[in-house]
Amino acid sequence: MEHVRGPYTISTDPRRLDESAVRRFLAQSYWAAGIPADTLRCSLAGALCFGMFHGTEQVGFCRVVTDRATFAWLCDVWIEEPHRGEGLGQWLVETVVAHPDLQGLRRLLLATRDAHSLYARCGFRAPTRPEAFMEIHHPDIYRTTAESPPPASPGAGAVARAEPPSPALAERTHAEQDLWTKVDGALEAWLAPADPVLAAAAAAATQAGLPEIAVAPAQGRFLEVLARATGARRILEIGTLAGYSTIWLARALPADGRLVTLEIDPGRARLAQENLERAGLGTRVEVIDGPAIESLAALRAARAAPFDLVFIDADKQNSRAYVENALALSRPGTLVVVDNVVRNGRVINADTGDAGVDGVRSMMDWIASHPRLRASALQTVGAKGHDGMLLAVVEDGPPGAGVSG
Ligand SMILES: C[S@@+](CC[C@H](N)C(=O)[O-])C[C@H]1O[C@@H](n2cnc3c(N)ncnc32)[C@H](O)[C@@H]1O
């Protein structure tokens, strides 16, 4: 079976599957990091697998464990980071639900930590009687395998031995993730209480089918605090989505302050504009639609006044170019904030093959040696897993130092 949408293909042909790509996806997941190679191979052989391809490169995956008559379990759903935000996850799950071998089943099940709205759009609902379900669950099973001592005699443990632990195997267990999510909930309740304007913006994003990649409420509040602490009057944001972080930041501005936000997707830019108008911030914020690199070049060409705070939260491949442009549009004292710089710990790995991770690493190298940037980064855990934020302050120096292009 093959389905084509633009440059993407979904195929169930097992010969097309790229096992090393699947292993790479799962190493980043919160549920199967550390899965041994043989267990993975077995799991692929025993399931109906769906690969998503961009040309010949595999960029997405999921598999269905099923008897093809009464029951199916959907799992290991993954879309590579640079391809997210285009509705590919929803297309993949819709393709699964429509697969001829999965028609007439009595039950199709899945478990998810944070993607309920995605699955809801494909027809899934919370179980009507959750109390009826029971399980034997070993959430730490791959971690246990990875930590077990190597086999005593050479070669004896070839089957049982785990892959060398990947950096993405961040010792994350379900219990830890649950705790991080609960703590985020408590911090929100204390420090970022329910807000109808922000809730409406988030709901509009969900309704429009946007992926859940906006900052969490506690991070939104953190951005607002940074903007207030720096007394920002002009803010630049790269990566708008539906304007959720934009609202947090714009609220910190004085009445005559200005926020410019850049978004490549015209539909998202429109939705953000609507959300900002509903939030009463329409006149304070300008949403510029188009590739950020081009919008930044236009701002530079127009000799835009320097920004006091720059928040970078778009495609990670271009992270370094975004910081370079932020510097060109800054003054001494400008604060540059870059989101998602830890990426489940994968930032320490030069061989992930993930353009987003490579982009962040290249940005880190550039910042580390830049004479006008003094930076640090904080690792974060929370409802969205393990990540981090970089903060850099622009220091005095020749305006063009280190700026290319
Ligand atoms: C993580 S989301 C931004 C989330 C938003 N800052 C928030 O927290 O509410 C990243 C956004 O960047 C946009 N984006 C990706 N590549 C871009 C590019 N080259 N130029 C401008 N925007 C881009 C995506 O369309 C997406 O809406």
pLDDT of 288-330, one tens digit each? Answer: 999 999 999 999 999 999 999 999 999 999 999 999 999 999 9
Q: Whose Cα sits closest to atom 26 in ligand 1?
A: 241
265 CB less than 6 Å from ligand 1? yes
Q: Whose Cα sits closest to atom 1 in ligand 1?
A: 213
CA of 159 to the centre of ligand 1 (A): 43
DSSP line for 230-299: TT-SEEEEE--TTSHHHHHHHTTS-TT-EEEEEES-HHHHHHHHHHHHHTT-TTTEEEEES-HHHHHHHH
Asked if 360 contacts 367 with a C-beta cutoff of 8 angstroms, the reply is no
313 CB less than 6 Å from ligand 1? yes
Which residue shows structure tokens 């005559």?
256
Q: Which fold has domain 2-169?
A: Aminopeptidase (3.40.630)
Task: Give how far Cα 311 sits from Cα of 123, 237, 269, 295, Å.
Answer: 36, 5, 17, 15
Residue extents of the structural domains in the chain: 2-169, 179-394
**For the chain, what percentages of helix, strand and coil (3-state, to nearest 5) are there?**
40, 20, 40
CA of 238 to the centre of ligand 1 (A): 7
What is the pLDDT tens value at each position of the chain, 405 positions in all? 899 999 999 999 999 999 989 988 888 787 888 888 888 889 999 999 999 999 999 999 999 999 999 999 999 999 998 898 889 999 999 999 999 999 999 999 999 877 888 898 999 998 888 778 888 888 777 764 443 333 333 333 222 223 333 444 444 566 787 788 889 989 999 998 889 999 999 999 988 888 889 999 999 999 999 999 999 999 999 999 999 999 999 999 999 999 999 999 999 999 999 999 999 999 999 999 999 999 999 999 999 999 999 999 999 999 999 999 999 999 999 999 999 999 888 899 998 888 999 999 999 999 999 999 999 999 999 888 889 999 999 999 875 554 444
The three-state secondary structure class of 120 is helix
Asked if 244 contacts 214 with a C-beta cutoff of 8 angstroms, the reply is yes
211 CB less than 6 Å from ligand 1? no
pLDDT of residue 131: 75
Residue (of 337, 340, 336, 349) closest to 379 by Cα position: 340
384 CB less than 6 Å from ligand 1? no
**34 CB-near residues (< 8 Å, 6+ apart):** 27, 142, 143, 145, 146, 162, 163, 165, 166, 169
DSSP line for 298-331: HHHHTTPPPPSEEEE-S-GGGHHHHHHHHHHT--
CA of 213 to the centre of ligand 1 (A): 9
CA distance 353 to 168: 13
CA of 185 to the centre of ligand 1 (A): 25
CA of 273 to the centre of ligand 1 (A): 14
Q: What is the pTM of this model?
A: 0.66
Pick the atom of ligand 1 nearest to 237's CA: 6
CA of 239 to the centre of ligand 1 (A): 3
pLDDT of residue 162: 30
pLDDT of residue 401: 53
276 CB less than 6 Å from ligand 1? no
Q: Whose Cα sits closest to atom 4 in ligand 1?
A: 214
262 CB less than 6 Å from ligand 1? yes
Residue (of 289, 293, 287, 327) closest to 310 by Cα position: 327
214 CB less than 6 Å from ligand 1? yes
- Helix 319-328 to helix 292-301 angle (10° resolution) is 10
Q: Which helix (H) or strand (E) holds 202?
A: helix 196-207
Q: Whose Cα sits closest to atom 7 in ligand 1?
A: 214
80 CB less than 6 Å from ligand 1? no
**269 CB-near residues (< 8 Å, 6+ apart):** 240, 263, 287, 288, 289
239 CB less than 6 Å from ligand 1? yes
Mutate to test the pocket of ligand 1, among 241, 320, 338 (most ligand atoms within 8 A of CB): 241
81 CB less than 6 Å from ligand 1? no
What homologous superfamily is domain 179-394 in, according to CATH?
Vaccinia Virus protein VP39 (3.40.50.150)
Pick the atom of ligand 1 nearest to 215's CA: 8
pLDDT of residue 351: 85
Which residue shows structure tokens 């108008």?
277
359 CB less than 6 Å from ligand 1? no
pLDDT of residue 199: 93
Pick the atom of ligand 1 nearest to 244's CA: 9
263 CB less than 6 Å from ligand 1? yes
CA distance 29 to 77: 9
